[in-house]
Structure 1
Amino acid sequence: MATCPPFDFSDKYYHTSGNSCVRQTSFFAGKAVLNQSVGYSVILGFGAFFAFFTSFLVWLEKRYVGARHTSEWFNTAGRNVKTGLIASVIVSQWTWAATILQSSNVAWQYGVSGPFWYASGATIQVLLFGVMAIEIKRKAPHAHTVCEIVKARWGTAAHLVFLVFCFMTNIIVTAMLLLGGSAVVNALTGVNIYAASFLIPLGVIVYTLAGGLKATFLASYIHSVIVHLVLVIFVYLVYTSSSELGSPSVVYRRLAEVSSRSRICQEPISHNGQACGPVSGNYQGSYLTMLSSGGLVFGIINIVGNFGTVFVDNGYWVSAIAARPSSTHKGYLLGGLVWFAVPFSLATSLGLGALALDLPLTASEASHGLVPPATAMALMGKGGSVLLLTMLFMAVTSAGSSELIAVSSLCTYDIYRTYINPDATGKQILKVSRTVVFSFGCFMGILAVILNKAGVSLGWMYLAMGVFIGSAVIPIAFLLLWRKANAFGAILGTIVGCVLGIITWLLVTSVEYGRVNLDTTGRNAPMLAGNLVSILTGGAVHAICSFLRPQNYDWETTKQITIVEKEKSELAVDEFKEEKLISAKKWIVKWGVGFTFVIVVLWPLFSLPAKEFSKGYFTFWAVVAIAWGTIGSAVIIILPLAESWQTIQSVMMGMFTNDKLVEKIDELNLKLETIIKAVPDAERIYLLEKGKIKKDETSMQTGHIS
């Protein structure tokens, strides 16, 4: 009989039965760790709290800083959001359920290469999107959505095609958020998975309805703070303070043991779908290597799929539109670099931690996103489960709110204002925006129930997204970057790329595995083929058509997109100066492309000679994960506060000052602004008089002293 248990550190997951050593068949085994009441409290309680809290913050700003709640403000946050908050929003928007769950799943599957390829393969899109964010300020400064720009440049037919792809992206992203969120809530608390699917969007709907994009941004910051605090707790727990693990050397030793060639992996000492013994496709079968064919294939799928969910997701365009021009490029670069830490640091701790603890997770549990909750529970018990649940809820609701605003903007500006009521007033647009937020939230709750019923997992959806939306990526990039790109090529490339991608995906599945179902379509080979065909065909067809019949566009029609309500801007005129924006573009191209090259090419190349990591090399790898997570968390928590300190002071002063006095000061300010606008010399005369008074006061003080 084999030694039972095979490792002392995982004896609780094995028992003897007759002459056999039997491993637990799954980690969760359908038993919830926490009470259902905890699940409902998190879903409904947090939702209600954030609805109230963010609405209160928006009211404070409106009351004491003077923000006006127009439809423009609801959908663009006044186009005046600073670097720190934009970076925080990017991190929050890009931190999906998959970021926390799927990143640890690929760590569990492929070892150290999984978290790296997840993080690097999904960071470069944000870094490179910074270029698009600057171009939108130069070429379509008053746009509300990406599809508005498509219509202005390529006309109605292209507009309708890209509208479909943008909606498809929002639906796929929101579905992933709800699938991951409902699976974890169900596993940890026993809350009915269908109830969780429908209830999670409700809290998001309420605070998005109340405050629009600004409420989403404020909530995103608070959510980012909580996500990063929990991230730091888990990273330090695994690599410094845990009694079960507690150091990189212990994790290293155990990862080598669990993937040992001498380990017995037959039934019942290990069950089909559980991690046991050497890893197929990895160098020496080790978890401690970047030489992993599975990891690399996942990395390519990840890069292709995530280009779709950034470039074709109107949420990122909405954030770019909302950003102050001088903050845009810095916000996207900083956001991308800070976000890298979330999947990389978290999965390097919780994902590898699950392997180092020899947890009896099954492939099904892992694909549903249950690796991090299993590790958190194994290391911290119920406390770890609550922390993970809180972190996940923050990610799901924050990213979900930005998806609601993205869909709201598309429906109001690209459907209602374009085809139904071109003369719509701000009030009408605001009403439609809020109706859409509520309707889309409810629709996604129903869709998540259907997908859960069909057995679709987060992992499957994550790999498949690029097949469906990848074909629109290059045409959308050409929209603002290439004057020759024509409408016919954009339409043809996007549709043909998508159709060929789906055909290739299903064909490879059928040829490779002889049957087409959820299991076989979700494997690496068909997913890789479908993703690559989709994105490359879309780009190639558009490029060929544009070379044959170039458009030679001058951007005039995109610059003529109008805003609905003109309102006083706090932005200096020189913020929009061409030379300033060109300089910002050069900056983001240099740094965005530079960092992309470092994290996708140089880093993996430098780690390949190590083959199977030594203890020292793995310790260095873990220290990088800890440091990046810590520094990134500090930056994303402190910077938005530092930048908004003046606004915070205004609110605090307003709260502790007589309201009537504040109203009178506001009224006086408005009168003075009106006079200054009407009489251009008024401000100059005022400044001269102010200077004279200061001079007189100084000379009087000097006279008293002498």
Structure 2
Amino acid sequence: MAEFTLLSQGVGYGVVIGLGAFFAIIILLAVKIQKDYLSEDSGKSEMFLVANRTVGTGLTCSAVFSSWMWINETVFSCIMCYYYGIAAPMWFGTGLSFQIAVMALLGVLVKIRAPNAHTSLEIVRRRYASFGHIVFIVLNLINNILGCATMIVTGSQLVNGITGVHIAAATILIPFGVVIYTAVGGLKATFLTDFLHTAIALILIIYFTISVLTNEHVGGLDGLYDKLQATAGDHYIKGNFEGSLITFKSKGAILFGIVLKFGNLALVVMDTAFWQKSFASEVRSTVPGYNLAALAIFAIPWALGTVIGLSARVLEKTPGFVTYPDGFTAHQVGAGFVFPYTIHSLLGPGATAGFLLLLFMSVTSTVSSSMIAVSSILSFDIYRTYVNPRATDRQIVTASHLGVLFHGVFITGITLALNYGGADLTWLAYCMPILTSPGIFPMIFTLFWSRQSKIAAIASPILGMLFGIIVWLSTSKSIYHAVDITTTGMLAPAVYGGIASLFSPILFSVLISYFGPKELFDWNEFLRIDLVGDHLNEKIVGHGTKPAIATHTSSTDVVTSPDTTRPNSESKEPTKISSTNFDDNVLIHPFDASTLAYLNHWYKIAWAFLIGIVLITFLLWPIPLYRDWVFTKPFFRGWVVFAIIWQFFALGAVVVYPVYDGWSEISRSVRGILKNRRL
């Protein structure tokens, strides 16, 4: 139970129960509107799992942003700024941008090479057969379960700490409403709720950032800077230049940046939910949607973490702060109370209730994506593959519904165990990459490197995980002379273990592939992955296309129909052609030649964007600042102001633009509803 509470239990129960019920009702209505006016039936597996592959750029951007707007970007960025100063939120933002940019590249490549895939694991099975498929199922489940559990652990501990709601009750109730609307609405439902979550959360984030900064106890940009300088002796940060909070030269911040950038890459590459969003997006939407989200996501940890984290440091021991006369305890910081305690002290109980709303938005958007991802694995990669290979479309959807329910129950049990075992946000964030990272490069090689052998793909992540765990535990023992939940949650062991777990599979895969049996994969084999539906038993070639004989290709080019129809300039959507495989030697790509050329164009753009992000955020921006220098007042002003401007850019990108981009669907739905009312 919490040491003290900020709000009543009634408020806590009202948020977790009331909002869960509210969003469940909203999604039930949205599903009905989709079916009645947009011909989108979530009772069909293609709609439930990949939203009929018709999601536009705006909604794709909003959904990716929301899925990556974990509670980490809000609560954890404030913790890291509190620990290491102004450099940490910037490293946080650069890591998130880089990771989404990687997924944009993978997303467009999978449309070129495996256009009918529903999960990333379908691709793995086609290349490495059942044994490799099972290994990656386990890796994906570990990633999704730990990621989802982290969110619920953090959410339940914060609800408990703020309102006194029992930790077990909070753990059970947070995912309850998500289970209902996800089971009913499927992937498109998560896109819609992601948009609502994002809009509400981002408005609250901007409000908290500006309101805290302009509060009389902070004193605006100049007041915050003066307080930081005046109290510098009270918060000396070991490893920072002159111990300052406002220097970019911070050993702790850069180590944290390494953990985040590379360790948390698994939460994108090994998360089926991110792959599904790329499968669900339109051909023209994948790269721009993901890369727009990559730019927008930078705003969350950068501005919010900077303002809240620094304000907490200078105010924690002043009269009126909730911890007065003492500062934060290590437990309070590690569990994420820097953010809520600061806004409660400065803005009052109403703001704290707003924080609970933000908490609910952040946690449930991630949980809903995880539930769809896990249900897809259970229904598609386990049930349809190994239990009932001849499953009908209806049976697959039923299995997906049951998968959501099963995951909701299972993740609740895991989260209760972690809560009662003493885990908190910081421990989970540091240690999770060690278990989730080993499959990253073998998965990337699956799409990029035709030479990776089946044995290498299977063995390298297993060896990498073992190596990472050994390094993690041995480093904890070597540095801190003990192996327990405290020492394993320290930054240094997490860095060394995470690096070993991430990068060692590259070495294992290359060595095994070159010194083992020589295998060269034919990318056209991915075209054997087909759409789902009872009608697919009929051997029909769409749009008058002729079958093409598959031949090996070594680039992103694949076998296509001879049709050369140009993309429709009015609809902005390239032509899509139904795929049909007549026998083992005849394969037809579902996109025509001009559409593939269009995708290859976006593939090059995705590479250019990724390289640009890496050069700017890893080198050109941070390296000149990493020197013996403390921010001057004018530079500090510009830094924070630019971060806040970026928040408004994010609001335009993920809230305003999706409404503009989807206006035709919105207007069609409204006209249909009004017409029915008149009748």
Q: C-alpha deviations, 1:307-357, integer Å up to 9, x for none?
A: 111111111111111111110001110111111111111101211221131
Q: Secondary structure at the match of 2:675?
A: coil
Letter in 1 for 2:247: T
Q: C-alpha deviations, 1:277-312, integer Å up to 9, x for none?
A: 311111000000111111111111111211111111
Cα displacement (A) at 1:223: 0.2
Aligned to 1:317: 275
In the alignment, does 2:200 pair up with 1:198? no
Q: Select the residue among 9, 15, 19 that pairs with 1:46.
A: 19
Distance between the aligned counterparts of 2:499 and 2:365, measured in 1? 30
Closer/same/farther in 2, CA of residues 158 and 29 from structure 1, 3 Å limit: closer
Q: C-alpha deviations, 1:113-172, integer Å up to 9, x for none?
A: 111112212220111111100011011111111111000011111111110000000111
Q: C-alpha deviations, 1:197-250, integer Å up to 9, x for none?
A: 1110001001101111111100000000011100110121133x3121141111
Q: C-alpha deviations, 1:545-592, integer Å up to 9, x for none?
A: 223344221212211111112599996426762211110000111012
Cα displacement (A) at 1:106: 0.5
Q: Select the residue among 284, 291, 300 that pairs with 1:326.
A: 284
Question: Does the CA-based 8 Å contact 2:34-2:41 persist in structure 1?
Answer: no
Aligned to 2:161: 187
Question: Does the CA-based 8 Å contact 1:107-1:347 persist in structure 2?
Answer: yes
1:618-629 alignment, distance < 5 Å: 618-629=636-647
Give identity over the alignment, percent. 34
Aligned to 2:315: 357
Distance between the aligned counterparts of 2:511 and 2:106, measured in 1? 22
Question: Does the CA-based 8 Å contact 1:98-1:176 persist in structure 2?
Answer: no
Question: Does the CA-based 8 Å contact 1:237-1:246 persist in structure 2?
Answer: no
Q: Select the residue among 133, 137, 155 that pairs with 1:159.
A: 133
Q: Select the residue among 133, 142, 148 that pairs with 1:168.
A: 142
Question: Does the CA-based 8 Å contact 2:476-2:488 persist in structure 1?
Answer: yes
In the alignment, does 2:340 pair up with 1:338? no
Distance between the aligned counterparts of 2:303 and 2:336, measured in 1? 17
Question: Does the CA-based 8 Å contact 1:128-1:593 persist in structure 2?
Answer: no
Q: Secondary structure at the match of 1:528?
A: helix
In the alignment, does 2:408 pair up with 1:441? yes
Rg (Cα) greater in structure: 1
Question: Does the CA-based 8 Å contact 2:467-2:501 persist in structure 1?
Answer: yes
Letter in 2 for 1:151: R
Q: Select the residue among 199, 217, 223 that pairs with 1:244.
A: 217
Aligned to 1:134: 108
Q: How many residues get paired?
A: 618
Q: Select the residue among 204, 207, 225 that pairs with 2:199.
A: 225
Aligned to 1:555: 523
Letter in 2 for 1:344: W
Q: Select the residue among 249, 255, 258 that pairs with 1:297.
A: 255
Question: Does the CA-based 8 Å contact 1:238-1:246 persist in structure 2?
Answer: no
Aligned to 2:71: 97
Distance between the aligned counterparts of 1:341 and 1:396, measured in 2? 18
Letter in 1 for 2:5: A
1:107-118 alignment, distance < 5 Å: 107-118=81-92
Q: Select the residue among 390, 398, 417 that pairs with 1:450.
A: 417
Q: C-alpha deviations, 1:420-443, integer Å up to 9, x for none?
A: 101100110111100110111111
Aligned to 1:61: 34
Letter in 2 for 1:164: V
Question: Does the CA-based 8 Å contact 1:88-1:220 persist in structure 2?
Answer: yes
Q: C-alpha deviations, 1:73-131, integer Å up to 9, x for none?
A: 10111111111111101111011122211111110000101111122122201111111
Distance between the aligned counterparts of 2:355 and 2:461, measured in 1? 39
Q: Extract structure 1 runs of 4+ deviating beyond 6 A.
A: 567-570
Distance between the aligned counterparts of 2:307 and 2:634, measured in 1? 17
Closer/same/farther in 2, CA of residues 636 and 246 from structure 1, 3 Å limit: farther
Question: Does the CA-based 8 Å contact 2:293-2:653 persist in structure 1?
Answer: no
Q: Secondary structure at the match of 1:518?
A: coil
Closer/same/farther in 2, CA of residues 428 and 509 from structure 1, 3 Å limit: same
Letter in 1 for 2:121: C
Distance between the aligned counterparts of 1:406 and 1:640, measured in 2? 23
Closer/same/farther in 2, CA of residues 555 and 290 from structure 1, 3 Å limit: same
Q: TM-score, normalised by structure 2?
A: 0.89
Question: Does the CA-based 8 Å contact 1:98-1:369 persist in structure 2?
Answer: no
Q: Secondary structure at the match of 1:155?
A: helix
Aligned CA-pair RMSD:
1.7
Q: Select the residue among 353, 357, 370 that pairs with 1:390.
A: 357
Distance between the aligned counterparts of 1:422 and 1:246, measured in 2? 65
Aligned to 2:668: 650
Letter in 2 for 1:60: I
Greater helix fraction, Structure 1 or Structure 2: 1
Cα displacement (A) at 1:544: 2.1
Aligned to 1:120: 94
Q: C-alpha deviations, 1:669-693, integer Å up to 9, x for none?
A: xxxxxxxxxxxxxxxxxxxxxxxxx
Q: C-alpha deviations, 1:610-632, integer Å up to 9, x for none?
A: 71111111111101111111111
5+ residue gaps, structure 1, are: 1-27, 261-275, 662-706
In the alignment, does 2:480 pair up with 1:513? yes
Letter in 1 for 2:20: G
Q: Secondary structure at the match of 2:626?
A: helix
Q: Select the residue among 83, 102, 119 that pairs with 1:145.
A: 119
Aligned to 1:34: 7
Higher alpha-carbon deviation: 112-121 or 503-512: 112-121
Cα displacement (A) at 1:193: 1.1
Aligned to 2:492: 525
Distance between the aligned counterparts of 1:376 and 1:437, measured in 2? 35
Q: Secondary structure at the match of 1:656?
A: helix
Distance between the aligned counterparts of 2:2 and 2:416, measured in 1? 22
Aligned to 2:602: 584
Question: Does the CA-based 8 Å contact 1:258-1:356 persist in structure 2?
Answer: yes
Distance between the aligned counterparts of 2:3 and 2:436, measured in 1? 35
Distance between the aligned counterparts of 1:388 and 1:466, measured in 2? 27
5+ residue gaps, structure 2, are: 318-326, 537-541, 544-570, 577-590
Aligned to 2:561: none
Distance between the aligned counterparts of 1:429 and 1:335, measured in 2? 31
In the alignment, does 2:398 pair up with 1:431? yes
Distance between the aligned counterparts of 2:84 and 2:491, measured in 1? 13
Higher alpha-carbon deviation: 589-598 or 452-461: 589-598
